[in-house]
């Protein structure tokens, strides 16, 4: 059970709800704050003086006062007109993420919604009902408007939802789950859609995946160094301390531990070794992986701040003031989404270079061409490296930032936008690409280590090779990682690998 109490959520809680279907509950204290704020909003709604978002139109129509008897229609119209996304439906976990994070903001007591609205969104999450949200429609400013509007539309009993992989009319799914469709009251339409929850949810999921993938990248790099008869001396702690980046030190220490006790590496140590320096893709792995780790660490600080934020416009402050603001602008999240796409592309690029080196008989120090059992008859891992190369080329394109672009909207009222949703969508594709690139290197390095027999690899890398032999192709128990990567990651998490 994840309890939403109006305070921050942790990244771990988000993943638990979004991917593992942990149930959600809003605390009594949070609901009491929601009631208190709503009472104040209702008094403003009855006042003669217009209040933006409560008794006026929205955006470029903010100066238009809306009569009392037309305000329910205004809320319905807002959601129906804004649920105008297009393109393929996005993933269930993305929609669950934006639902959860919007619920957290609604429960903060700063938005002015009713308790019924908070409870309806809670029930929707817990019932496993996922509104159909389309790929395009958010500019990352004034919130993820079209995606969040699709969720609000489902709460109204309109539009389509997904239940257990089956697309259905929202009204039917709500009826079967015992959830009454909402008729939105003053302020609630804006409160449901004016947040950066979609891009933030995707950021949290990317961080979760990159923690795991960067650990696996250290493993694949160490296995490649070993298979290519490289040296681990360059990973020594005293050398790393000369450039004191924490991520670099962590990656170098892990690679050193992974290579400890390797008979393959011991076989070419000593005065007879003619190797002077390894290629950069081997020697500089801690520097690249470490820079990626440090980027992830910075982005985590931004994500954690956002998970404590209450984003809406206008907001209801604790002293009762209803104030317009610009906190819905997605720039803080958009930048970090773009930042992460750069090291993702670079880590993948370095892994592809190591893979290519193992397949080239002129650079692999005794390995057969393409690691083939019968070169010429058998192409070995040749086309697996082609796949890596195609993905790495795409990752370079995906690393081009989305957040430097802006297209004015809403009759020039919204004249600068963040494009954070677009940054999040391309980062998801980039993380998937990195997963595949590392899976290819992992399998290639394992094959190369087998071909070094009778010399034996380090105990740690030998365990990784053994785990790969037990891996069944196809979807594994962890649907978010390739089965090969999941096997290696399981060993790391269990403590069997450094």
Name the residues annotated as catalytic. Answer: 52
Evaluate the CA torsion angle 483, 484, 489, 495 in order and state its sign. Answer: positive
Helix (H, G, I), strand (E, B) or coil at 311: coil
**Residue 75 near residue 186, CB atoms below 8 Å:** yes
In whole angstroms, give the CA distance from residue 31 to residue 190. Answer: 19
Burial class (CB in 10 A: 0-12, 13-18, 19+), 19: middle
Peptide bond into 454 cis (omega under 30): yes
Helix (H, G, I), strand (E, B) or coil at 462: helix
What are the backbone dihedrals phi and psi of residue 316, each rounded to the nearest 5 degrees, phi first?
A: -105, 110
Which residues are paired to 378 by β-bridges? Answer: 375
Query: How many residues in total does the chain contain?
Result: 498
Residues 6+ away with beta carbon under 8 Å from 150: 83, 85, 131, 132, 133, 134, 159
In whole angstroms, give the CA distance from residue 41 to residue 55. Answer: 10
Q: What is the DSSP letter of 437?
A: H
Nearest to 125 by CA among 167, 89, 92, 86: 92
In whole angstroms, give the CA distance from residue 398 to residue 426. Answer: 6
| 196, 254, 310, 333, 426 from 421: Cα distances, Å | 8, 35, 18, 9, 9
| 103, 130, 158, 169 from 177: Cα distances, Å | 19, 12, 15, 13
């Amino acid at each position: 059970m994840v309890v939403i109490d109006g305070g921050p959520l942790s990244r771990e809680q988000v993943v638990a709800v979004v991917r593992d279907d942990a149930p959600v509950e809003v605390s009594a204290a949070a609901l009491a704050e929601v009631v208190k704020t709503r009472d104040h909003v209702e008094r403003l709604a009855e006042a003669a003086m217009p209040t933006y978002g409560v008794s006026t139109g929205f955006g470029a129509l903010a100066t238009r006062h809306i009569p009392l008897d037309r305000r329910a229609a205004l809320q319905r119209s807002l959601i129906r007109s804004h649920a105008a996304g297009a393109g393929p439906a996005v993933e269930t976990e993305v929609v669950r993420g934006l639902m959860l994070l919007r619920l957290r903001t609604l429960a903060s007591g700063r938005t002015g919604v009713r308790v019924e609205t908070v409870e309806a969104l809670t029930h929707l999450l817990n019932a496993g009902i996922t509104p159909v949200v389309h790929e395009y429609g958010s500019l990352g400013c004034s919130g993820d408007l079209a995606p969040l509007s699709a969720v609000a539309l489902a709460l109204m009993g309109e539009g389509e939802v997904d239940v257990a992989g089956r697309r259905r009319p929202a009204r039917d799914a709500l009826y079967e789950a015992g959830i009454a469709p909402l008729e939105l009251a003053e302020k609630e339409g804006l409160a449901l859609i004016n947040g950066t929850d979609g891009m933030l949810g995707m950021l949290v999921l990317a961080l979760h995946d990159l923690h795991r993938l960067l650990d696996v990248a250290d493993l694949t790099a160490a296995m490649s160094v070993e298979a290519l008869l490289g040296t681990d001396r360059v990973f020594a702690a005293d050398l790393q301390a000369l450039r004191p980046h924490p991520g670099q030190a962590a990656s170098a220490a892990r690679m050193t531990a992974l290579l400890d006790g390797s008979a393959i590496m011991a076989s070419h140590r000593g005065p007879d070794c003619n190797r002077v320096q390894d290629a950069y893709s081997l020697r500089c792995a801690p520097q690249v992986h470490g820079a990626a780790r440090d980027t992830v660490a910075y982005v985590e600080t931004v994500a954690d701040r956002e998970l404590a934020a209450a984003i809406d416009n206008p907001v209801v402050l604790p002293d009762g003031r209803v104030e317009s603001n610009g906190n819905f602008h997605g720039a803080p999240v958009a930048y970090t989404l773009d930042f992460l796409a750069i090291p993702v592309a670079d880590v993948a690029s370095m892994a592809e270079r190591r893979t290519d080196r193992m397949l080239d008989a002129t650079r692999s120090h005794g390995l057969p061409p393409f690691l083939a059992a019968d070169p010429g008859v058998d192409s070995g891992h040749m086309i697996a490296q082609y796949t890596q190369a195609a993905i790495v080329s795409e990752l370079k394109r995906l690393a081009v930032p989305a957040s430097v672009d802006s297209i004015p909207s809403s009759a020039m009222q919204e004249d600068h936008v963040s494009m954070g949703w677009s940054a999040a969508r391309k980062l998801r594709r980039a993380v998937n690409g990195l997963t595949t690139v590392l899976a290819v290197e992992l399998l290639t390095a394992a094959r190369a280590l087998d071909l070094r027999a009778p010399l034996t690899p380090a105990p740690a890398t030998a365990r990784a090779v053994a785990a790969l032999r037990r891996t069944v192709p196809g979807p594994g128990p962890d649907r978010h990682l390739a089965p090969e990567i999941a096997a290696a990651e399981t060993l790391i998490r269990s403590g069997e690998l450094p």
